[in-house]
């Protein structure tokens, strides 16, 4: 048993420890979700012809464990800002089907300001938007599928705290500048013909070939394709007549034309 003087010294040290933990969690009084982008990040944005206010795109590739952040440049196209190594993702290659299957999703999603979580128990996070219109059409279920910090995952994409702090800050500043959303594209791998051939025996091949359509549009035009769902598949850059909406399992309505 500790004698009184030692117990007293431990007690007196406790406030200092508490203050240290508090300072670390708020970074000298600034909440982690409000930490400004570093001068290095701002410099790199400028080098690619973008700014903290520029529109944003995030792409994820499971097989290579990569997360890319792209920003729109002053020339109008999107430039790669940075590629981050995903710390951990769960499941296997292929889409998510059901709540609790431990599978990270694949597909096309839209992230809005309300999907940002500054109070995440996993440092910082944003919701992927799963299930989207496509997922719901096939009865797929799941909730709280996030991109977050803390480097642990059950159905999510986990980054290091340092990585998510920068990614979160990039999204936050884009929203603060008036951008209503950013595109989130999640793939099993880079959608090349070689990779599809490598996985040609997968039951998900048809799904992945559909994802490749949107992937290829970005690769050629350097602009995120708009997407919707009809005929049970993703369709891209489709103009829908005024007052009409696409039904996910119905035929695509005519005249639906592709934007140039």
How does 205-242 read in b/e, with b if 16+ C-beta sit within 10 Å? eebbebbbbbbebbeeebbbbbbbbbeebbbbbbebee
- Residue 129 burial (CB count, 10 A): 19
- Of the candidates 156, 199, 230, 252, the residue annotated as catalytic is 156
Question: Is 148 assigned a catalytic role?
Answer: yes
Taking alpha carbons only, the member of 104, 93, 102 closest to residue 202 is: 93
Q: Kind of pairing, strands 66-72 and 56-61?
A: antiparallel
Question: Is 44 assigned a catalytic role?
Answer: no
Tokens of 36: 């400004």
Greatest C-alpha distance within the chain: 85
- Of the candidates 148, 151, 199, 252, the residue annotated as catalytic is 148
- Residue 25 burial (CB count, 10 A): 10
CA atoms within 13 A on the CB side of 5: 0
Question: Mind telling me the catalytic residues?
Answer: 148, 156
């Amino acid at each position: 048993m500790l004698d009184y003087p030692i117990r007293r010294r431990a007690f007196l040290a406790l406030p200092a420890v508490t203050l240290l933990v508090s300072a670390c969690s708020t970074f000298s009084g600034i909440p982690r979700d409000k930490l400004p982008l570093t001068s290095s990040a701002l410099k790199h944005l400028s080098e690619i012809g973008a700014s903290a206010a520029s529109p944003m795109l995030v792409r994820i590739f499971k097989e290579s464990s990569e997360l890319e952040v792209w920003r729109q440049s002053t020339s109008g196209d999107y430039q790669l800002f940075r590629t981050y190594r995903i710390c951990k993702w769960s499941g296997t290659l292929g889409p998510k089907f059901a709540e609790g299957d431990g599978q990270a999703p694949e597909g096309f999603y839209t992230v809005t300001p309300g999907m940002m979580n500054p109070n995440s128990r996993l440092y910082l996070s944003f919701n992927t938007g799963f299930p989207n219109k496509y997922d719901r059409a096939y009865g797929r279920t799941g909730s709280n599928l996030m991109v977050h910090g803390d480097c642990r995952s059950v159905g999510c994409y986990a980054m290091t705290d340092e990585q998510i702090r920068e990614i979160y800050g990039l999204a936050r500043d884009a929203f603060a500048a008036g951008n209503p959303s950013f595109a989130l594209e999640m793939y099993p791998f880079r959608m090349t013909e070689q990779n599809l051939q490598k996985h040609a025996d997968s039951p998900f091949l048809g799904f992945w070939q559909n994802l490749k359509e949107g992937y290829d549009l970005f690769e050629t035009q350097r602009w995120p394709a708009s997407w919707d769902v009809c005929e049970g598949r993703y369709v891209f850059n489709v103009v829908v007549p005024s007052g009409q909406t696409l039904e996910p399992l119905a035929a695509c309505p005519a005249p639906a034309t592709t934007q140039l």
